[in-house]
Structure 1
Amino acid sequence: MGDHLDLLLGMVLMTSPVFGISPCWFDGRMAIYHFCNLTQVPQVVSTTERLLLSFNYIRTLNTSSFPFLEKLQLLELGTQYTRLTIDREAFRNLPNLRVLDLGGSQIDFLHPDAFQGLSHLLELRLFSCGLSDIVLKDGYFRNLKSLTRLDLSINQISSLYLHPSFQELNFLKSIDFSLNEIHTLCESELTPLQGKTLSFFSLAKNKLYKTSSGDWGKCMNPFRNMVLETLDVSGNGWTVDTTGNFSNAISGSQIFSLNLAHHVMGSGFGFNNIKDPDQNTFAGLARSSVIHLDLSHGFIFSLNSLLFGTLKDLKVLNLAHNKINKITDQAFYGLDNLQILNMSYNLLGELYNSNFHGLTKVAYIDLQKNHIGIIQDQTFTSLRKLNTLDLRDNALKTLNFIPSISTIFLGSNKLVTLPKINLRATFISLSENRLENMDDLYFLLQVPHLQVLILNQNRLSSCNHRPTSAKNLSIEQLFLGENMLQLAWETELCWDVFKGLSHLQILYLNNNHLNFLPPGIFSDLTALRGLSLNSNRLTVLSSDDLPSNLEILDVSRNQLLVPNPDLFVSLSALDITHNGFICVCELSPFINWLNQTNITLFGSPADMVCTYPDSFSGISLSSISTEGCDEEEVLKSLAFSLFILFTVAVTLFLTAVLMVIKLRGFCFICYKTAQRLVFKDHPQETEADTYKYDAYLCFSSKDFEWVQNALLKHLDAQYSDKNRFNLCFEERDFVPGENHIANIQDAVLRSRKIVCLVSRHFLRDGWCLEAFSYAQGRCLSDLNNALIMVVLGSLSQYQLMKHQSIRGFVQKQQYLRWPEDLQDVGWFLNKLCQQIVKKGKKKKKDNNIQLQTIATIS
């Protein structure tokens, strides 16, 4: 029944919109008319080989329903949405039909001659058609000389009295009567099948012998003189007594595979009113040559002594999904040829040395999904032929019981460390345990002839300093995913763990929190072809990180922001999805490589998106343009732009310099005008001052006319209301008749600043030199810079240095020189005003020094 479901699903998928095919479609060889609301068979061309008409409303099939289709081999009429009537010789125009599928269609009327003319029919599917015993009793299948498979499951058949025409079906191999209403089965019912060899005969889920104990002596053996490769009587809910009676009834019939799954044999856990099978339960099968026995999905609690003692030919025994908690001594005695034993999904807690005695040829034992916590040391040592032991999903904490076998499954246990025992295996699985120390990995890598080692989902994170691992020339696949190798490697230990593994071909290091790869970690892996580094925290890969012969690389789900495409050119397949790409010009070589490479890229373009900058966040790399990121073009454009910018800047600078040199006076006037306009409404407050004069102008009387025109008219407030300085000079402010020295001293002390206008006349005037000395004395006493020296004319440094008082000032202080160019006078006067209003220091009675603020001039 599974085959027709697979075919039906395949056809539905083929006609779905995903494949771009209309549900009503034909191409000359195949015609698909699913869900087309048909009420009769459509006209198709004579070359049609497959005609699919399921999911329609076809009511009647008769001799005129089909045109002559000589090449038609498959006809599917299942699951009609109305009851179906099939008249006599309805399919006679289909002489070469091989498969006829009517499954799922409720047949309201089926003529006994409906299938006549189908001499080449191989498979007839009549599952779930609402058929009764009549189809078996009245010869509906006569003349189907080539029929090999007949599916009558999920119908309303209650009796298996077969029409004598079944004797003519010489090629019949498979009959499915599962999910019907058959309660009893006797030898007389299946007489037409005697002498035949059937590959499959199913009576599953019929409640067979469920409601009646059955007259076993009267019914006798229903399978007499038959050879059944597989007999399926599962799901009938048989007890120990029913199973024993059935075994005795079919004694002598050759049944190679017997399926008794989904039974109710056994006391289960905590019940004593239902028996477990014993040595008499299967005794009737002694001469049946049973090779495969399925007793899964039941309630067997205890495997009793000599339970299978008569099954000398048994090679496969399935006891999975029971409640087995106890294996008595000699439970497996007699199973001299058993090769496969499946006891998974039971309730075993301990295994003892004697549990598997008698299994001299067993090669595979499946004990996964039990609760095994303790196993005696010699439990498996006597099993000389054992090569595969599956102990996954148990509670083991030690491995002292492990024999030298080729394949060991120990995943999902509670192993914390490994004892240093003598292991010899080609395949070891220790995934989902609690191993922490990498010493265990070093130990396992030294197991002779080991080819596959699985250590996924452990806790490998610590490392003791130890010598380099011995060479292992056999291991080919190593699985270390979902550990914590980062914690071990960041201590700079165990970087030699892969040394000597020159035959390793597959290596998994996924989910290890790696943010770096130790230098030369893969240097010895010369045969490595596949490497998984996915789901780590790697931000960069270098050419030295990857083996030279690598073909398949998985670096998905890392943090490779700007990967270098040169690393991947030798690969044949790459998965680099789900990395946080930064979409800047540095990524353009990688984007160009993605668009041009012939390497197989796993994942879709939607899994390779930008995360930065924000304007590109979530955009696929395939949609990013690299135009403008060409380095040569960018450099040419940048060089030209810089040349233009530099030329313009130099031109503007030279122009500005020339303008300042030639028109500096005009520029200064403009500057002062703008300053007055900006600050005219925001005059600065003048601080309180104890000085009578802003400045004392000390100059030779012979220079008065020049001083008056050059300075006083522009600075002194009595010369113009626009001027704000209160200046003191001898011709106006000295008291007549007063001692001249006293006038000089008074002027020096009562003025904030002393401006000495040093000219040739000044140097010859003794009173001027005396005033200069007094001013210097005040500077020394008050510790300020009250003295301002302005040199007039072309006096040289040598001429100034000839006078002792002036020489000391010139050596320690800066002085001003009157400009030679008239356009610089305005600038000079502004500079002088700034010196006059500059805050000075005055000595207090307590010898403290305080800054005084003078308001600036307009």
Structure 2
Amino acid sequence: MLHHLVFLFGMSLVAREIFAFTSCYSNGQIANYYFCNLTEVPPVPNNTVILWLSFNKIRQVNASSFPLLEQLLILEIGTQFDFPVTIGKAAFRNLPNLQNLDLGDNKILHLDPDAFVELSNVHTLQLYHNSLEESILEEDYLRDMISLEYLDLSKNKIKRLRPHRLFYRLKSLQIVNLENNKIPILCEGNLASFQGKLFTLFILNSNKLYYSVSMDWAKCGNPFKNIALDTLDLGGNGWGVDIMRHFCTAVNGTSIIFLKLSNHIMGPGFGFKNLKDPDQDTFAGLARSGVRLLDISHGSIFSLNPYVFQSLGDLELLNLHNNKVNQIQKQAFFGLGNLGTLNLSYNILGELYDYIFEGLQNVMHIDLKQNHIGVIAENSFRDLRKLKLVDLRDNAIKTLPSFPAMITLHLSDNKLASVDNKKINATFLILERNRLENLGVLHILLQVPDVKYILLRQNRLSYCVKTVNVIENNQLVYLDLGENMLKLVWDRGLCLDVFWALSKLEVLHLNNNYLTTLPQGIFSGLTSLNRLNLASNLLSYLSPGVFPESLKTLNMSENQLLSPALELFMTLSILDITNNRFFCDCTLNTWTAWLNQTNVTLAGSENDTYCVLPPFFTRVPLSSVALDGCNEDELQKPLQFSLFIFTSVTLIMSLTAVIIFSHFRGTCFVWYKTIKGALLKERKQAIDTSTYKYDAYLCYSSKDFEWVQNSLIKHLDSQYSEKNRFTLCFEERDFLPGEEQITNIRDAIWNSRKTICIVTRQFLKDGWCVEAFNFAQSRYFCDLKDVLIMVLVGSLSQYQLMKYKPIRVFVQRSQYMQWPEDHQDVDWFLNNLSHQILKEKKVQKKSTVIEMQTVRTIS
């Protein structure tokens, strides 16, 4: 039965993986002859179990092609590059125990009527994509295949379905695949030789069945009369509401567990009325079929009408994925008392009302991801007492309704700025990529009674105001705070006790938080911590005793460690210290020796754990560093000692100067400006306001407005402060209400001395921003002036920038400015940006013709 198929396919997949790179090779019981340019079957050992002959040029197989191979179970001879392929009489008679025969994808296959004689043990026969016609079923080609379980005839040219009476004898047949043929009609009696069978899977997908013929449904009758079906796949046939209703009525009483009707044309979609949504009569004919799983995904259903599923009382799963559902009427789910899973993902729902899930008293899983949900009524989920999982990913939710107790609440990729613990109750809370800024939200979430997993990755956690204290008996075991800004919280001494009450926490992620130091005692209370992720921070020093004794796995990759203390890692089982900045001197000698001898598993490649200093050890792996001279008596070598002292003093002074400048460069810049102004009596350059209305137009994504306002506008715009010298233009203040967006953008660019584009991830997703960038670049070629300033904010790769042609043209011609990661450099950056706004730079004409053509192409 089916376990034989699973076993055979498993053997085939494993063997393919082993011999993927050893084509034209026979080893033991496996013979792999893929892509060997063969024109006939090669000789193979008589104990061969698996023989692969696909991707060759074999055009004929006959009774003498194979030697006697009594142990052969799997034979592939599909996808021959020369066709037609002819299978002669008794071609496989020397393969008496063959179980899996693959002749698929030969484009044109000619079969002798006796081609398959004596193949009584074949379980799987694959004849897909061979230009076969209906004779393969209507004649007795398969008469000896009494063990056949799986027959694949997909992608052929079968135009009629009337199987030969020999199929009465094929008692084991369970799977028939007729996808992508040309069967226009199927009526009662056509499948007479299949009657009395139970099919695990019957596929008639993409045949245009009933689509282009005039049907007398009353005369046609039930094509599956006296046939039981676990899964019936009728998707992709282009059925509208009328065909769907007639078919469901025709199969009244036929047992179907899983009915797949995906890729239909039911529903008008958004903004159209030419096609109907299903109504209470559409699926009424399935009332006695016992359907438990219904797939009507990938269509254009716009409205779920009242009582549309009332006849499907046995339904346990309803898949409405990828339609255009925007409205769910009252009592739309009436009659679905046994439904356990509802999939409404990838639709266009905007609001969820109190009545929307009425009738789903037993539902356990609701998938609503990738809609446009912005408003959820307070009691939408109130009566769903058996609910275990709600997936609301990638919507526009700002405020949470009340949820019953469940296992998983998935709310990532929304617009949440705060949460209320009284409205949620789940074991898994997934809140990644929202707009949470207050680390105090963690204290609120820990009030949830049964919460064990909290994921807050990629939010905006940058300050902390506690409204509640962490309860001592919380059950939290997994916490992900990666890719936030916890440095800003802890550098101000806020919420240093955030982990103190998490005695059961086992896994903690703090990667990508710009951490330069770990506050003393920050991990106090984490007595069960087993795995800690501190990767991709800026840590250069770790104080002794900072990690809990229970810690076994530590990720310190992508930091700036120079000479870490050995005792920090003695109790670990797994350690990742790749891509750090190790200083390989004698102080590291003991450490490198430990690395070569320790039982701790070191993650990553040896080549990724290397020295940065001194220069002659740069990029040398730690395991290869030779520090043999570190134990010699330096007093006996005065010259070496003197050189050591001189080098050490010089290095220390240089490092001290670099460190001082690195940590206080912001203050140094302020002193420099003050001294320069005093000595040179520097005057501010007068700004010519006669030509332009604005000094600069700030172009940015509306999602970045808060950051732009705090980081740029407040420090440059004269309306924000008298000490600021520029008149800036930006959308929220200066665009004319009611005017077209493109007109506002064009006027802002041409009325401003310069255009400053703040390029972020959100900028690249905003079509108006990219269009504004293109407009500004067009002005560059018209005025022959450098009027465009590009400021890159955040970590965007060169590949991400080069995907956008206007930006690629600019980057190839000009340099852009990078927003500093360290706040000390902000004043210097703003000063440099001010000079760029004031500077007038002419552009040479010699290359403008080609570049203007490029810009026109972009436009």
- TM (norm. structure 1) is 0.71
Contact (CA 8 Å) 2:463, 2:494: kept in 1 or not? Answer: no
- AA in 1 matched with 2:250: A
1:511 aligns with 2:512: yes
Which residues of 2 match residues 577-592 of structure 1 at below 5 A?
A: 577-592=578-593
1:65-144 residue pairs with structure 2 within 5 A? Answer: 65-83=65-83, 84-144=85-145
Match of 1:845 in 2: none
What is the 5 A alignment of 1:643-722? Answer: none
In the TM superposition, what is the alpha-carbon distance from 1:13 to its structure 2 partner? 5.0
What is the CA–CA distance in structure 2 between the aligned matches of 1:561 and 1:643, rounded to whole Å?
Answer: 27
Q: Any idea what the Cα deviations from partners look like across 1:548-573, whole Å, max 9, x if unmatched?
A: 12222111111112233443232222
* Cα distance in 2 between the residues matched to 1:296 and 1:417: 34
Aligned partner of 1:329 in structure 2 is 330
Percent identity (aligned): 48
| Residue deviations 1:798-854 (CA, integer Å, cap 9, x gap) | xxxxxxxxxxxxxxxxxxxxxxxxxxxxxxxxxxxxxxxxxxxxxxxxxxxxxxxxx
In the alignment, is the contact (CA less than 8 A) between 1:400 and 1:421 conserved in 2?
A: no
- AA matched with 1:380: F
- Structure with max Cα Rg: 1
| SS of 1:189 mapped into structure 2 | coil
> Deviations along 1:308-362, whole A, 9 cap, x unmatched?
0000000000111111111111100010100100111111111111111111111
For residue 676 of structure 1, what is the aligned residue in structure 2? Answer: none
Q: CA deviation at 1:217?
A: 2.1
Q: 1:636-647 residue pairs with structure 2 within 5 A? A: 636=633, 638-642=634-638
Superposition pairs of residues 526-675 of structure 1, within 5 angstroms: 526-622=527-623, 624-629=624-629, 631-632=630-631, 634=632, 636=633, 638-642=634-638
User: How far 1:255 sits from its partner (Å)?
Assistant: 0.6
Which amino acid in structure 2 is aligned with residue 258 of structure 1?
Answer: L
Question: 2:484 aligns to what?
Answer: 483
Aligned runs of 1:41-440 on 2, under 5 Å?
A: 41-83=41-83, 84-440=85-441
Aligned to 1:827: none
Q: Secondary structure at 1:188's aligned position in 2? A: coil
- 1:296 Cα deviation after fit: 0.8
Closer, same or farther in 2 for the Cα pair 1:58/1:561, shift >3 Å?
Answer: same
- Give the secondary structure class of the aligned counterpart of 1:426: strand
Letter of the 2:39 partner, please give it: T
Given that residues 143 and 168 in structure 1 are in contact (C-alpha distance below 8 angstroms), is that contact kept between their aligned partners in structure 2?
A: no
Residue in structure 2 matched with residue 665 of structure 1 by the alignment:
none
CA contact (8 A) 2:334 2:359 kept: yes
**Structure 2 equivalent of residue 457 of structure 1:** 458
Note the alpha carbon deviations across 1:173-197, whole angstroms, 9 max, x for none.
Answer: 1111111111111222211111111
Cα gap change, 1:434 to 1:277, in 2 (>3 Å):
same
Counterpart CA distance in 2 for 1:38 and 1:86 is 16
Looking at structure 2, the residues matched to 643 and 171 of structure 1 have their Cα atoms a distance apart, in angstroms, of 91
**Which deviates more from structure 2 when the two are superposed, residues 449-458 or residues 305-314?**
449-458
Structure 2 distance, partners of 1:190, 1:235, is 21
Residues 75, 99 of structure 1: 8 Å contact kept: yes
* Structure 1 equivalent of residue 29 of structure 2: 29
Q: Does the alignment pair 1:15 with 2:19?
A: yes
Is the 2:617–2:625 Cα contact (8 Å) retained in structure 1? no
Q: Distance in 2 between the 1:466 and 1:367 partners? A: 31
- Report the residue type matching 1:640 in the other structure: Q
The secondary structure found in structure 1 opposite 2:189 is helix
For 1:831, the equivalent position in structure 2 comes to none
C-alpha spacing 1:213/1:564, structure 2 compared with 1 (3 Å): farther
2:494 corresponds to which letter in structure 1? Answer: L
How far residue 74 of structure 1 moved from its aligned partner, in angstroms, is: 0.8
Distance 2:467 2:560 in 1: 32
Aligned length: 637
Q: 1-side partners of 2:313 and 2:469: how far apart?
A: 52
CA distance in 1, matches of 2:511, 2:302: 42
RMSD of aligned alpha carbons? 2.3
Q: Are the equivalent residues in 2 in contact too, given 1:578–1:607 (CA < 8 A)?
A: yes
Gaps of 5+ in 2: 643-859
The worse-fitting range, judged by mean Cα deviation, of 390-399 and 401-410 is: 401-410
Question: Is the 2:362–2:384 contact (alpha carbons within 8 Å) kept by the matching residues of 1?
Answer: yes
Residue 590 (structure 1) shift: 3.5
| CA separation of 1:467 and 1:444: change in aligned 2, threshold 3 A | closer
1:629-674 Cα deviation digits (max 9, x unpaired): 5x43x3x3x243249999xxxxxxxxxxxxxxxxxxxxxxxxxxxx
Shift of 1:295: 1.0
Q: 1:157 to 1:626 in 2, by over 3 A?
A: same
Over 3 Å counting, the alpha-carbon distance change for 1:255 and 1:597 in structure 2 is: same
Secondary structure in 1 matching 2:512: coil
8 Å contact from structure 2 (residues 217, 250) kept in 1: yes
Partner amino acid for 2:336?
Answer: L
3-state SS of 2:63 partner: coil
Would the aligned equivalents of 2:405 and 2:426 in 1 still touch at CA under 8 Å? Answer: yes
Match of 1:812 in 2: none
Tell me how far 1:112 sits from its aligned partner. 1.7
CA distance 1:452–1:420, shift in 2 (3 Å) = closer
Contact 1:585 1:626 (8 Å CA) reproduced = no
Give the superposition deviation at 1:587: 3.1
Residue in 2 that maps onto 1:663 = none
Deviations 1:89-140 (A, max 9, x none): 1111111111111111234421122111111111111111221111111111
Cross-structure match for 1:651: none
Residue in 1 aligned with 2:39?
39
Distance 1:482 1:645 in 2: 47
Corresponding residue for 1:687? none
Structure 2 counterpart of 1:641, one-letter code? K
Distance 1:117 1:493, change over 3 A: same
Counterpart in 1 of 2:673?
none
Match of 1:754 in 2: none
Q: Is the 8 A contact 2:402 2:423 kept in 1?
A: no
Deviates more, 1:329-338 or 1:557-566: 557-566
Whether the 8 Å CA contact 1:528–1:549 is kept in 2: the answer is yes
Q: Which amino acid aligns with 2:54?
A: S
Deviations 1:259-304 (A, max 9, x none): 1111110011011111011011101111111100011111000000
Aligned-pair CA distance for 1:627: 4.1
What code does the residue aligned with 2:278 have?
Answer: P
Alignment check: 8 A CA contact 1:469 1:496 kept: no
The answer to whether the Cα contact below 8 Å between 2:205 and 2:233 also exists between their aligned partners in 1 is: yes
Counterpart amino acid of 2:257? Answer: F
Paired residue secondary structure (1:427): strand
CA contact (8 A) 2:401 2:423 kept: no
Answer whether contact 2:420 2:444 (CA < 8 A) is retained. no
Tell me, yes or no, if the aligned pair for 1:73 and 1:99 is still in contact at 8 Å: yes
Q: By how many angstroms is 1:603 displaced?
A: 2.2
**Offset at residue 616 of structure 1 (A):** 3.4
- Measured in 1, the distance between the counterparts of 2:191 and 2:106 equals 27
How far 1:586 moved relative to its partner?
A: 3.0
Moved more, 231-240 or 4-13: 4-13
Contact 2:384 2:404 in 1 (8 A): no
Structure 1 residue matching 2:426: 3-state secondary structure: coil
CA–CA distance in structure 2, aligned partners of residues 262 and 619 of structure 1: 58
Q: Secondary structure at the match of 1:242?
A: helix
Between stretches 387-396 and 339-348, larger displacement belongs to: 387-396
Matched to 1:113, the amino acid is D
Q: 1:569 to 1:40 in 2, by over 3 A?
A: farther
Q: Is the 8 A contact 2:48 2:69 kept in 1?
A: yes
